[in-house]
Chain A
C-alpha cells in the first residue's frame, strides 16, 4: 500500500493555478506527484503554486520531483518542511512562502 496522498489542481479566480498536496510523499507515490506537476506547470505566465501546507512527510523522492520545475513553481510550506527545503537547496532556486 502506498502512502496516502491526494493531489488537487485548481485555477484560482485570479488565474493562478494551484496544486494542493495532502498526505505523505515518498518514493512509493512520488511519480504521481511528478505527473501532477508536469501537468500543472505552464511554460509561461504566473508560476504554478504548489501548496505543501498539508503534507506531513516529504523526502528526497518528493524533492526530486520538484527540482526540474524549480523556475516555474512557487512553494507554500509549513514550518515542518522549511528546513528540508533549505538544506536541499530548493529554497534557493524557487520562492517559498510560509503558509
Chain B
C-alpha cells in the first residue's frame, strides 16, 4: 500500500471515482478519439475529470480543440436527460446544438480571455424530455488550463433554476391576484383586476378567456387576455349545447377541468405571444361556487414549452379559484350591502314615521275636532242632515285620534317607555262593563251577545286603560268579521289565571294565516268583513299589552265556524314590576270607549247616528263669563296658518273678545307696539320672527313688557320653550286642545295678566305641556320638579319627588363603573356651573340603558331668591347607537386587518362584539367538514362537548336559519348565521341580563355579520398565501443533506408571521473541507427570499471555485452589487477542515460566530470582520483563522436569534453562549432545538432566524463486511477519530479495545450463520461524553451452550472499559450501545 505506482490518485483509471458516469465514460472509444486513451491524458485533464466526477454539484466541461464533452451524475440527472450517454465524449457544440447560439459565444469568451463568466437564470430551450422545454440555468464558465498553463477548455458549474424561476413567476401572479384584498370590488372591477394580473404573466398564460354563465343558459365572454377582440377562439357568447362551439361550455357545468387540444379552425391563427409558437393546448377550469353550479369557467392557453404537470395544473386551478372567490366575494358583498341598506332604510323610515306622527296629525286634528265640537253645540237645533254630516266628521276625527294613539302606544312599547300602572281590579266586573258598551252595536248588527263574567276568586292587577284597549279591540274585531250568530265574552279562573275568552261565529282565520295573526300591519287579504278599513295594528297592540301584564294570548279558529281569542292573566303581582303597582283606584282613569263604538256602529248598514258621546265640549261650553273690569279684552293672534287664524278668531270672538290677526311674529310685534293688546296668542313656529323671539322682543320693550303671551305649538323644541318662558311667556298650549280649554286659558291669562299674578300659572303650564323631559333641581342637585316627558323617558314619576342625589337612574357603580363615572362628572358640572350641556348613559326604571343629551341653566327663583337649576333633556339613544355602529365597524375592520390568522381574527371579532353589546359572552360554532362543530367563544374553555344541550340545540337551529338574518329572543340575546371559510358559522350573543335586543341592535348585528363573513374570508385567503410563501422559503433554503456533525434551524418571524432573507448553507468542497455560510438579506417577504436564494447559489458556486472565505465574499460583493436588494446583506463564511478543526473565515458585517470549548470556555470569532456585502465592492476582505478544539461547539446564527429591543446585542450573544454551555453535553441536534426554544422571546421571534451548529469532530460512521480481516482498518479509522476527540492515549486505547470486542462479537455471533452481512459502527462525542454503537445485521444465539469462554471474556472487558453498556436485540440485527464519560 505504498509507492507511487499503486496510489489510486495517479492511476490511469481516472473514471473509477464515480460508479455511475465512470463506466460509461470508460466505454467511450478513446483510442479513436482526438484526446487519445485516458492513460495518455495530461495530468491537468485527469484532475479536472476527477473533480468533475466526484462533485455532487451539477457540472460539465469541455476540453481540447473539439471541446469534448464530459459531465457528472448530477448534471446528467438535472439537465442532460435523454442525451445521456450519447453525449459523452462528443464535441460540446454537437451536444448542445439547440442552444449553441446562446452558449457558444460565452465559451469562446472564456477560452479567449481566460476570464470566467456568470449567468443568472438564463432562459434556454432544451430538448431533453422529448419536447422543447423552457428551462433556466444559473451557471459559470471557468477556464481550464493545460499542464503548461495554456487555455484548453472550460468547466461549467450549473444549477438549474427552472423550478425556482417558474415557481416565482407563478407565485408572483398568485400574489398579485391576492394583493390588496381589502379593497372590495364590484364584480366587473374584480374581473378587470384579475384580467390585468393574468395578462402580466403571458409566459404561463399565453391567453385567457373568462366566460360566465348567464340566465339564458349561455356562457358570456367577460374578460380576455392575450387574444385580440373578436378572435374566432373567443366568441362573445357560447351556447352550452352547440357541438361546433370552440369551447365545450356545457361539459364544464359538471365542475371538472377539461383539457382541450387546439386544432380546430377557430385556433388557426392564435397569437404566439412571448413564445416562438402559439399554445397547442388549453386547460378549461370551472369557476366553482360554494354549494352551487359554477359561475362560469376560465380558459387558460397553455405554454407549449412546459408540460402540464401537477405544478402547472395546480397554478391554473388556483388562478381560477382566485377568480371564483373574487366573484363570490363581489356578489355576496353586493347582496349584503343591499340587504343592510334596506334594513337600515326601513328602520330609519319607521323611526321617522313614528316621531313625526304627533306633529303631522295633531294640528289637523285640532282644526277638525275643535270646530266640529263647536258646530255641534251651535247647531243643536239644525236640520237632521247637517247634524248627520257633523257626526260623520266627528267620528272620523275620533277614529283618527284612536289610530294615532295606538301607533303612539306602539312606539312607546317599542322604546320601552310604556308606563303601566297596575291596580287590583275586579276583572270580571270591569270586563262586563266594557262589554256592555258594545252591546247595542252588536245587537244592532243582528248578532246575539252573551256575556258570562262570573266573579273571580281574587282581584287581578291590570292597567285599566290598557285592559280596556285589549277588550275593546277584541270585541271590535269580533263584530267586524261576524255576519250572523253570536259573540261571546266569558271570564273564568283556570290554573291560577284569569282567563278571558272572546268568541265569535264569524268567517274564521285560514290556518296558513294563523302564524301571522298577531303581526303588526298584517292584514288578511280578501277576507269578508264589515269594513275594508283597518290598520292591521289592533291585534298586534293587544298582544303587546297582554304581555306587558305578564299574560299571553292565543287564537283558535276554523274557517266558516268562527274564532276564539283566549287571554290569560296571572293572579297576584309576582309577575309585575313592583314599582309599577298602585293601590286600587289610584291608576289611570279608563279612557273613552267611544272611538271604538263609534267606529263599529258605522260598519252597520242602518246607522241611525251617534247616540253616545254627548259629553263633547260643546255640550258643556257654558256662556261666556264677563271679564273682570267689564271691557272686552283685545287679543292679538299671530299664526302663519290661515285656518288656524280664522278658527282662533271665531273662537275668541264668540267669547266676546276683540281679535286682531297677523301672519307672523314681526307683524305681531309691530301691531303690539302700535296698540298694546290685552293678550297675545302666538304660534311658536312662524316666519320672520318666531314665537319665542316675539316674546323676548315684547318683554324687552317696556310698553309691552307686561302683556301676557300665550304660546301655541304642535311640538316645541324644549330648550327654545325654556328660553321663551324665561323670556316671559305666560302660558303654553300643545295642540290639539279642546276649544273650551282654550277659551278658559285665554280667559285665565287675561285675568291673571290683569291681576299681575301669572307666575305660578305659567310654570304649571310650562311643566305640564312640555313634550320633552324637563326638571328643576335645588342647589344641592336634588330633583324637585319634573314633567310627564321626564317620566316617559326615565320611567320615574312625580310620586317619588324629590329625588336627592345619587338618583336611582344613575348606572350602578359596581356593575358599570365607567357609566357611573360619566354621570357623576356631569352631575358635578350641573351643580357647579351656571350653564352647560352633557350626554350621559342612564338607566331606565325597568333596567334598560338609554342615552340622554341634557342642557341646563342656573336661574334664580323670584319667589324664594334661591338659586335653582332648570334642565331639559332628550333621548338620544338612537343617535348614540348610530355612532356606536360606525365605531363598531371601524373596530371590527381593525381587528380583522391586524389578525395573524383565522383563529386570531375570530377571537378579535368576538371580543369586539362582546364589548359592543356589553354581553356576558359571545359564542360561535362553525359547522364544517369535521364531525364536531368547531366552537370558539369569549370564554376560552368553551367546547362543543361541554356546552349545555340547550345551547347546542339553539346553535344547530341557528345554523339552519337564512344567512345574515338575526334571530333575537325577547330577553336573553341574539344570534345570526354567518358564512365562515370552513362552513356555516352560528354566532350567539349572550346578553346575560334582562335587556331587550332591539330592532336597531338587530340591524347592526346583520350589518356587522356581513362584514365579519367577508373579513374572515379575506383573512383565510391571506393565511393561505402566507403558507405558500413559507413553503417556498423552506424549499429554497439550505442543503437537504448536511455533513456529519452539523445541525441547522430556520424559523420565520412570528409576530407578524413572515418569511425573510436569512439562510444557512454547507458546501462540501473537493478537498474534503466544508464551506459554512450563514447570511441575512435586508427585508422580508418573497422579495428578500428571492434575493437570498440567488446569493446562496452564488456563494456556493464561488466557494466551489475558490475555497477562500475572503475571496468568496469579495466575489460575492461584485455579484451583490448587480443584484437589486442584495446590497447590505451580511454573511459569515467559513471553510472548516473537519479533520483538524481548523477554520478560515471572513465576515461581511455579520455577528461573530461563537465557539464553546468542552470545558465551557467561550470564544468569539470576531476577526476577519469587514463591511456588509456590496458596500465598497472591489476592496479586499480580511480572513482569519481559528481552531474548533476537540468536542467544542461552533455556532453561526443571524441577528434574529440574539437581537432584542432595547438591549445591546452583546447581551443576546452572552445569552446564546450560555445556552450552548447549558447544552454542550447534548447531541448537536438536541442542542439546536434547545437553543431555539431557550432564546425564543415572549410571543415568538420578531425577525427570522437561521442557526447552524457544528460539534467537532463530527460523528464517525463506518460500515464494513462482517469479516475479521476488516477489523484492522476499522481500528485505524477509530483511532484517528478518537485522537480528534482529544482523548488521552490510555483512555483512547480502552475505547478501542471495547469497540474491537463489540465488532468481534458482531462477527462471531451476529454473522456466524449469516456470512456476508454488514456491520455498522457509529461514534459520537459531546463535551463530556462519548457514545459508541455497533450494529450487526444477524441474530445472536439465544444463549451460548456451552458459553464460549473467551467471548464471555470480551463482554467482561467491554463492561470494565466503558461506563455503561446495553445490548438491544432487534428483528434485523443486534445493537451494542456503549458510553464513556470524558473528563476534560
Partner of B1290, one of A1, A61, A79: A79
Chain A nearest CB: distance from B1212 CB in Å? Answer: 47
Chain A nearest CB: distance from B1266 CB in Å? Answer: 12
Q: Are B1272 and A60 in contact (CB under 8 A)?
A: no
Contacts of A57 in B (CB 8 A): 1275, 1296-1297, 1300
Q: Are B1354 and A3 in contact (CB under 8 A)?
A: no
Q: Which residue of B lies closest to A84 (CB)?
A: B1297
**Chain A CB within 8 A of B18 CB:** no
Contact with A along B1140-1166 (1 / 0, CB 8 A): 000000000000000000000000000
Contact with B along A68-92 (1 / 0, CB 8 A): 0000000000011001100110000
Partner of B1353, one of A2, A27, A64, A80: A64
Of B1268, B1272, B1301, the most chain A CB neighbours within 10 A belong to B1272
**Chain A CB within 8 A of B400 CB:** no
Q: Are A60 and B1357 in contact (CB under 8 A)?
A: yes
Contacts of B1271 in A (CB 8 A): 3, 26-28
Please, how many angstroms separate the alpha-carbon atoms of A93 and B1127 in the complex? Answer: 76
Q: Are A60 and B1353 in contact (CB under 8 A)?
A: yes
Chain A nearest CB: distance from B946 CB in Å? Answer: 65
Q: Which residue of A lies closest to B1275 (CB)?
A: A57
Q: Which residue of B lies closest to A5 (CB)?
A: B1272
Contacts of A1 in B (CB 8 A): 1269, 1272-1273
Q: Are A87 and B1350 in contact (CB under 8 A)?
A: no
Contacts of B1350 in A (CB 8 A): 60-61, 63-64, 67
Contacts of A32 in B (CB 8 A): none
Contacts of B1349 in A (CB 8 A): 64
Contact with A along B1296-1314 (1 / 0, CB 8 A): 1100110010011000000
B: interface residue count bin: 20 to 34
**Chain A CB within 8 A of B1351 CB:** yes
Chain B nearest CB: distance from A78 CB in Å? Answer: 10
Contacts of A58 in B (CB 8 A): 1297
Contacts of B1272 in A (CB 8 A): 1-4, 24, 26, 28
Please, how many angstroms separate the alpha-carbon atoms of A4 and B1357 in the complex? Answer: 23
Q: Are B1294 and A27 in contact (CB under 8 A)?
A: no
Contacts of B1289 in A (CB 8 A): 80
Q: Which residue of A lies closest to B1289 (CB)?
A: A80
Q: Which residue of A lies closest to B1354 (CB)?
A: A60
Contacts of B1308 in A (CB 8 A): 27
Extra 14 A-B pairs, beta carbons < 8 Å, given A27-B1271, A64-B1353, A67-B1350: A2-B1269, A3-B1271, A3-B1275, A4-B1272, A26-B1268, A26-B1275, A26-B1304, A57-B1296, A58-B1297, A59-B1297, A60-B1353, A83-B1290, A87-B1361, A88-B1353
Given A57-B1296, A60-B1353, CB of A27 within 8 Å of CB of B1290: no
Q: Are A59 and B1356 in contact (CB under 8 A)?
A: no
Given A64-B1353, A88-B1356, CB of A28 within 8 Å of CB of B1269: yes
Given A24-B1275, A27-B1307, A88-B1357, CB of A59 within 8 Å of CB of B1301: yes
Chain A nearest CB: distance from B1344 CB in Å? Answer: 14
Please, how many angstroms separate the alpha-carbon atoms of A48 and B1361 in the complex? Answer: 29
Instruction: Give the top 10 A-B pairs by smallest Cβ distance, nearest first.
Output: A64-B1350, A3-B1272, A28-B1268, A60-B1354, A87-B1360, A60-B1353, A27-B1268, A59-B1300, A80-B1293, A27-B1304
Chain B nearest CB: distance from A16 CB in Å? Answer: 28
Please, how many angstroms separate the alpha-carbon atoms of A42 and B1293 in the complex? Answer: 32
Contacts of A24 in B (CB 8 A): 1272, 1275
Number of CB contacts from chain A to chain B under 8 A: 68
Contacts of A67 in B (CB 8 A): 1350
Contacts of A2 in B (CB 8 A): 1268-1269, 1272
Q: Which residue of B lies closest to A87 (CB)?
A: B1360
Please, how many angstroms separate the alpha-carbon atoms of A61 and B1271 in the complex? Answer: 12
Chain B nearest CB: distance from A92 CB in Å? Answer: 14
Please, how many angstroms separate the alpha-carbon atoms of A4 and B1293 in the complex? Answer: 18
Contacts of B1275 in A (CB 8 A): 3, 24, 26, 57
Interface residues of B in 236-284 (CB under 8 A from A): none
Chain B nearest CB: distance from A77 CB in Å? Answer: 12
Chain B nearest CB: distance from A88 CB in Å? Answer: 6
Q: Are B1304 and A60 in contact (CB under 8 A)?
A: yes
Contacts of A87 in B (CB 8 A): 1356-1357, 1360-1361
In the assembled complex, 8 residue pairs joining A and B whose CB atoms fall closer than 8 Å, in A order, are: A1-B1269, A3-B1271, A26-B1268, A26-B1300, A27-B1271, A27-B1304, A27-B1308, A59-B1301
Please, how many angstroms separate the alpha-carbon atoms of A68 and B174 in the complex? Answer: 82
Q: Which residue of B lies closest to A3 (CB)?
A: B1272
Please, how many angstroms separate the alpha-carbon atoms of A88 and B1359 in the complex? Answer: 11
Of A3, A58, A60, the most chain B CB neighbours within 10 A belong to A60
Chain A nearest CB: distance from B580 CB in Å? Answer: 102
Interface residues of A in 15-67 (CB under 8 A from B): 24, 26-28, 57-61, 63-64, 67
Contacts of B1296 in A (CB 8 A): 57
Chain A nearest CB: distance from B662 CB in Å? Answer: 133
Partner of B1351, one of A3, A26, A60: A60
Given A88-B1353, A88-B1357, CB of A61 within 8 Å of CB of B1304: yes
Please, how many angstroms separate the alpha-carbon atoms of A57 and B1350 in the complex? Answer: 17
Q: Which residue of B lies closest to A86 (CB)?
A: B1360
Q: Which residue of B lies closest to A23 (CB)?
A: B1272
Please, how many angstroms separate the alpha-carbon atoms of A2 and B1356 in the complex? Answer: 25
Contacts of A88 in B (CB 8 A): 1353, 1356-1357
Interface residues of B in 681-723 (CB under 8 A from A): none
Please, how many angstroms separate the alpha-carbon atoms of A87 and B1357 in the complex? Answer: 7
Chain B nearest CB: distance from A54 CB in Å? Answer: 14
Please, how many angstroms separate the alpha-carbon atoms of A83 and B1356 in the complex? Answer: 13
Please, how many angstroms separate the alpha-carbon atoms of A78 and B1290 in the complex? Answer: 11
Contacts of A27 in B (CB 8 A): 1268, 1271, 1304, 1307-1308
Contacts of A28 in B (CB 8 A): 1268-1269, 1271-1272
Contacts of A64 in B (CB 8 A): 1349-1350, 1353
Q: Are A59 and B1290 in contact (CB under 8 A)?
A: no
Contacts of A63 in B (CB 8 A): 1350, 1353
Chain B nearest CB: distance from A63 CB in Å? Answer: 6
Chain B nearest CB: distance from A64 CB in Å? Answer: 4
Chain B nearest CB: distance from A34 CB in Å? Answer: 11
Q: Which residue of B lies closest to A67 (CB)?
A: B1350
Please, how many angstroms separate the alpha-carbon atoms of A74 and B1351 in the complex? Answer: 24
Q: Are B1353 and A84 in contact (CB under 8 A)?
A: no
Q: Which residue of B lies closest to A24 (CB)?
A: B1272
Interface residues of B in 1248-1279 (CB under 8 A from A): 1268-1269, 1271-1273, 1275
Chain A nearest CB: distance from B1275 CB in Å? Answer: 6
Chain B nearest CB: distance from A61 CB in Å? Answer: 7
Contacts of B1360 in A (CB 8 A): 87
Q: Are B1294 and A83 in contact (CB under 8 A)?
A: yes
Contacts of A80 in B (CB 8 A): 1289-1290, 1293
Q: Which residue of A lies closest to B1267 (CB)?
A: A28
Chain A nearest CB: distance from B281 CB in Å? Answer: 63
Q: Which residue of A lies closest to B1299 (CB)?
A: A59
Chain B nearest CB: distance from A37 CB in Å? Answer: 14
Please, how many angstroms separate the alpha-carbon atoms of A59 and B1301 in the complex? Answer: 7
Contacts of A79 in B (CB 8 A): 1290
Of B1273, B1275, B1293, B1350, the most chain A CB neighbours within 10 A belong to B1350
Chain A nearest CB: distance from B235 CB in Å? Answer: 82
Of A27, A58, A80, the most chain B CB neighbours within 10 A belong to A27
Q: Which residue of A lies closest to B1307 (CB)?
A: A27
Contacts of A84 in B (CB 8 A): 1297, 1357
Please, how many angstroms separate the alpha-carbon atoms of A26 and B1350 in the complex? Answer: 12
Contacts of A83 in B (CB 8 A): 1290, 1294
Please, how many angstroms separate the alpha-carbon atoms of A60 and B1357 in the complex? Answer: 8
Contacts of B1300 in A (CB 8 A): 26, 57, 59
Chain B nearest CB: distance from A25 CB in Å? Answer: 10
Please, how many angstroms separate the alpha-carbon atoms of A58 and B1353 in the complex? Answer: 13
Please, how many angstroms separate the alpha-carbon atoms of A43 and B1271 in the complex? Answer: 34
Please, how many angstroms separate the alpha-carbon atoms of A84 and B1300 in the complex? Answer: 13
